[in-house]
Chain A
Amino acid sequence: MEHFIKKALVATGLLAAALVTLLPLSSYAADSATTTVTVNVAKVIRLDAASGGDTINLVANQVSTGNISAQVYSTMPYTISLSAAKPALQHTTSATYSIPASSNVTPGTNAWGIKKSGESNYTAISTTPIVFYDGTAATPAAGTTTNFEVGISLGGNLAAGTYSTDVTVLAAFSD
């Protein structure tokens, strides 16, 4: 038993030593000499938002998806907020039928939502702008495109036809 423990001890020590040598231990060093340069950055922000297609064809018993893209060029950190004056997807010819905005977009329910950047769950859009993307740095000159997945599920009791709404994409500098 003691012999076995001794072997295990040596093996554990060797394993730890070997793995430590494989660790990235180096880190970049800051410049030892720095020069202060003052640059006036123009406060510019540019927005190119698109829905990426005509319609999202809805299929029963599954979540149908689409995309909203927002390409932003910004010289400062920025946020992208989404909202809708009428959050529900409304039937284009009948006011009776609509698909409500909801975070619970699952097959079998009438619901639609949009995913925030980097999240796996849907968020219900509302009349108040909600931050869907928070950029912590300025973008490169070509801009940065952020895609927001739109999900729609059907639960029944809906008339056939087209359902639509206006989605507002708001870009602003963040403090």
Chain B
Amino acid sequence: MSFFLRLSRTLLVVVLSSLAALISSCAAPSASALEAGDIVLQVSPAEQEIDLAPSQTYTGSFTVENVGREAFTFTLSAHPYQVSGPDYTPVFTTETAYTTLSTWLSFDQNNLDLAPGPSAGVTYHVHVPADVPGGCQYAAIIVETRDADDTAAMRIVSQIAVLLYAHVSGEQRLAGSLLDQQLPNVLLGSSFTSVATVENTGNLDFDLIHTLTVTDFFTGRTVVNQSTANPDGTHAGFAEQVVLPATTRTSTLTWSGAPALGLFRAHQTLSFLDQAYDLEQVVFLCPVWLVGLLAVFVLLLIVWLILRFRRHCQARRDRLA
């Protein structure tokens, strides 16, 4: 009996051990890529305006927060910042006379570990050369985390740019000109858009304020003003945009809630530096299919009138005959 008891106990241990091994091998974590919410990087303020002077050392700061589930290490690097084209596509690699700021930057620490929850204050220093000319300078401090899973095929590197807009004292020139402004005249189903293009010919950036006011032609009721918002959250009647030196900027205001048919009076204003411009236009909105129907109607009317006239002439000839 004791033999069978020992045998049973031994078999039980063997079975339990095997079961435990099986469970542990199934539960062994398999490598998996990071999921949304794992590495979440937050920076504030992500845009700063600073005033500099030659030979000055300026110290600034911003905050980096880990709002994800996983700890990460972030690194800091300085890059030039410029824009390209009238749509102001950001460029972080082009070096110009206005992007040398990136070479003046240094950091107390170039990398920091950050656990989920707390935030880290980042200090940067700008060492302004003595011989720098006055005007604007632009740079981006890139905050980067590379804590991607090495086993994933598509590893993600997350970056946030802190944009620096610096005004260096010295010879500063504010200059700009309006290149073009447009309001629609007749809209056959296309969007109600006002456009203005401004050029900065100085060495300092300036703000362009672009407004659009639309009133009903017959009633005078205002349907769009500076506080009007489109369904997507954009402003239909107001835009304030910066124009960087040696660039051309196109500002566009779109009224996406315009009706399909109507007659309106549109008034556009532009102001930058000490210049102000006004443009007013009567705008007729009509769907293209209605124009087609009206064209068919007019054509039929003409044909009918011609046929009627010919019948009338024929009847007269018959009477005279």
Question: Which positions in A face B, CB cutoff 8 Å?
Answer: 1-2, 5-6, 8-9, 12-13, 15-16, 19-20, 23-32, 34, 42-56, 66, 68-69, 71, 73-74, 76, 79, 81, 89, 128-129, 131, 134, 136-138, 145, 150, 162-175
Contact = CB atoms under 8 A, between A and B. Distances in A.
A169 B90 contact: no
Contact of A5 (B34, B87, B227, B300): B300
Interface in B224-247: 224-225, 227-228, 232-234, 237, 241-242, 244
Given A27-B223, A46-B160, A54-B32, 8 more contacts: A12-B297, A13-B297, A20-B290, A52-B33, A71-B36, A81-B92, A137-B232, A165-B154
Which range holds the interface residue count of chain B? Answer: 35 or more
A2 B222 contact: no
Contact of B161 (A16, A137, A172): A172
Interface stretch (B126-134, B167-175, B252-260): B252-260
A37 to B, nearest CB: 10
Contacts, number: 215
A165 B151 CA distance: 11
Interface in B174-231: 221-225, 227-228
Contacts of A128: 91, 93
A159 to B, nearest CB: 15
Contacts of B140: 172
Contacts of A30: 222-225, 227-228, 237
A170 B232 CA distance: 23
A34 B237 CA distance: 14
B25 to A, nearest CB: 20
B308 A49 contact: no
Given A12-B300, A71-B36, A45 B154 contact: no
Contacts of B48: 43
Contacts of A166: 146, 148, 155-157
A149 to B, nearest CB: 12
9 contacts: A6-B304, A9-B304, A23-B287, A25-B262, A46-B41, A48-B36, A50-B34, A51-B156, A166-B146
Contacts of B156: 49-51, 68, 166-169
A140 to B, nearest CB: 9
A121 B259 CA distance: 33
A175 B83 contact: yes
Nearest to A127: B93
A27 B161 contact: no
Contacts of B233: 137-138
B40 A24 contact: no
Contacts of A69: 36
B269 to A, nearest CB: 15
A175 B244 contact: yes
- Candidate in A28, A55, A134 with the most chain B CB atoms within 10 angstroms: A28
Given A20-B261, A50-B38, A166-B157, A9 B300 contact: yes
Contact of B227 (A9, A31, A56): A31
Contacts of B300: 5, 8-9, 12
B260 A23 contact: yes
Q: Which secondary structure dominates chain A's binding surface?
A: mixed
A81 B45 CA distance: 19
Nearest to B32: A54
Given A54-B31, A164-B154, A174 B90 contact: yes
Interface string B89-105: 11111000000000000
A156 to B, nearest CB: 20
Nearest to A32: B222
A11 B133 CA distance: 74
B153 A2 contact: no
Contact of B307 (A1, A51, A145): A1
Contacts of A43: 44-48
Contacts of B222: 29-30, 32
A117 B48 CA distance: 28
Contacts of A28: 223, 228, 257
Given A32-B222, A170-B92, A42 B45 contact: yes
A9 to B, nearest CB: 4
A51 B149 CA distance: 10
Nearest to B81: A172
A66 B33 CA distance: 13
A9 B297 contact: yes
The 3 closest A-B pairs by CB, nearest first: A172-B161, A43-B45, A137-B233
